[in-house]
Amino acid sequence: MNIQDQFGEGGEAIVDYKDGEFTILKPGGFVRCAVTGVKIPLRALRYWSVDRQEAYVDAGAALKGMGLKE
C-alpha cells in the first residue's frame, strides 16, 4: 500500500482526531486549517485539537485556534 492508497488523493478528507493519531473516515488528500483555511496534506498533518475536532496548519494556528494566542 502506498501513501495515496492510504490517504486518497484530490478531495477533502474527513478525519476523527484522537490523542497522538487520527482516523480517516472519508479518504481524501487534505484537511483544512480551522484558523486559516489553508489546505493541509494529510501526510503533513501535525497539529489538531481532539476536543474541537479541528486541524491546524502550524503551531501558531493551533495556539490561536485554541484561544491561547491572538
Considering the entire predicted model, what is its pTM? Answer: 0.83
Lookup: cell for 68: 491561547
User: pLDDT tens across 26-51, in order?
Assistant: 999 999 999 999 999 999 999 999 99
Considering the domain boundaries, does residue 7 fall inside one?
A: no
Residue 40: give the domain boundaries: 15-65
In this prediction, residue 9 carries a pLDDT of: 67
Q: CA-CA distance, 36 to 29, in Å (whole number)?
A: 18
Across the chain, mean pLDDT equals: 90
Say what percent of the chain tops pLDDT 70. Answer: 87
Considering the domain boundaries, does residue 70 fall inside one?
A: no
Q: What is the DSSP letter of 70?
A: -
Number of domains the chain contains: 1
Q: Which among 28, 27, 70, 31 is positioned nearest to 49, based on CA atoms?
A: 31
Considering the domain boundaries, does residue 28 fall inside one?
A: yes
Say what percent of the chain tops pLDDT 90. Answer: 79
Considering the domain boundaries, does residue 8 fall inside one?
A: no
